[in-house]
Amino acid sequence: MNLVLASTSAYRRMLLERLQLPFSTDRPETDETPLPGELPAATAERLAAEKARAVAARWPDALIIGSDQVACLGNEIFGKPGTEERAIVQLQRMRGQTVTFHTALAVLNTRSGRLQVEGVPTQVRFRSLSDDEIRRYVSKERPLDCAGSAKSEGLGIALLEAMPGDDPTALIGLPLIALARMLRAEGLELP
């Protein structure tokens, strides 16, 4: 049975490599727009499942991994900024605040049709950052492809005061503790 990561994210690929299992990657074509009235955790879980399903037809005998992340402060959602200007605005809004990063994981067994979905939230408390600190960070790290504009696996860790959570890899985008549990439930042997 093949193991497939339904993502082209370098961050997710690097995380999955930690499990030392052979895998392929495939690009899911999914619309990441939240549905009207959809809560951030539900958006992340729906998109993780949709990403796994989006590549399923190309992998008839596989365990397909989909993942998605939505960052929010109250009802305000922070997606991938795409530009330096938007990254700066996001970080200015989040400074001194606790932001929830909802990371969802889906594992689809295309042989049996079984779909497992799990959300792994992480509370991230940002330091009270100055505008200069934010600009320097964005210029050096260029976190334009990260929900919430903060790469905790890089220089972004300096923006944070704390990030309590059940799985430190969830904040980077692929919760490996939950993934290992889900893969074992599908009969995959892990160390």
Rg (CA), the chain: 17
Contacts of 169 (CB under 8 A, 6+ apart): 15, 18, 175, 176, 177
Burial 71-89 (b: 16+ CB within 10 A, else e): bbbeeebbbbbeeeebbbe
Please choose, from the candidates 179, 181, 184, 157, the residue with its C-alpha nearest in 3D space to the C-alpha of residue 67: 179
Structure tokens at 52: 């796994």
Structure tokens at 104: 């969802």
Structure tokens at 130: 């100055």
Active-site annotation holds for 68: yes
DSSP for 14-50 reads HHHHTT----EE-------PPPTT--HHHHHHHHHHH
Among residues 26, 31, 61, 68, which one is catalytic? Answer: 68
Judged by DSSP in three states, 4 sits in strand
Contacts of 164 (CB under 8 A, 6+ apart): 122, 123
Q: Which residues are catalytic?
A: 68
